[in-house]
A = this chain, B = another copy of it.
């Protein structure tokens, strides 16, 4: 078992794993991401995400894709784990746990006060895994989203004199 940072040559495998994750999350057609998207946003000068891969016998079998956000109350970065995934055929060998521990280590090294992620409410194996590690569901906070047409509509509704002068 070996953990390392993903590089551009991993991109086709990363995209395959993202598709496998979408199937696991019961949204097999949800992935619009392309290899170009991953290359542009993950491996340029100012990457929008970071990615670790987990190898077994030299083959990439899992990924942890993350980025740094910021907490206004802590005054510190937060490590946010967007996706943690291990191939079904490889589960049970501790690769997911090892990826997770490495993220915790990175969070501490980067002086993050918090390490955060989201879990689907029906995913009991994942929730149980996280509870055993001392993590808790943040009760009381509801995630909201605006996208597509409603987002465009709000963006276009701004009056010229109220728009930010850049």
Contacts and interface: CB of A to CB of B under 8 A. Distances in A.
Contact of A137 (B105, B130, B143): B143
B145 A115 contact: yes
Given A118-B142, A144-B136, A165-B4, A154 B73 contact: no
A158 B101 contact: yes
B37 A76 contact: yes
Query: What is the interface residue range for chain A against chain B?
Result: 35 or more
Stoichiometry (number of copies): 2
Looking at chain A's contact residues, the main secondary structure is: mixed
A7 interface: no
B37 A157 contact: no
A68 to B, nearest CB: 6
Contacts of A69: 48, 67, 69, 80, 82
Contacts of A23: none
B143 A101 contact: no
User: Most B CB atoms within 10 A — which of A1, A70, A143, A157?
Assistant: A70
Given A5-B166, A31-B72, A108-B155, 13 more contacts: A3-B163, A34-B75, A48-B69, A65-B72, A102-B162, A105-B164, A106-B164, A108-B152, A116-B143, A116-B146, A121-B141, A130-B146, A137-B144
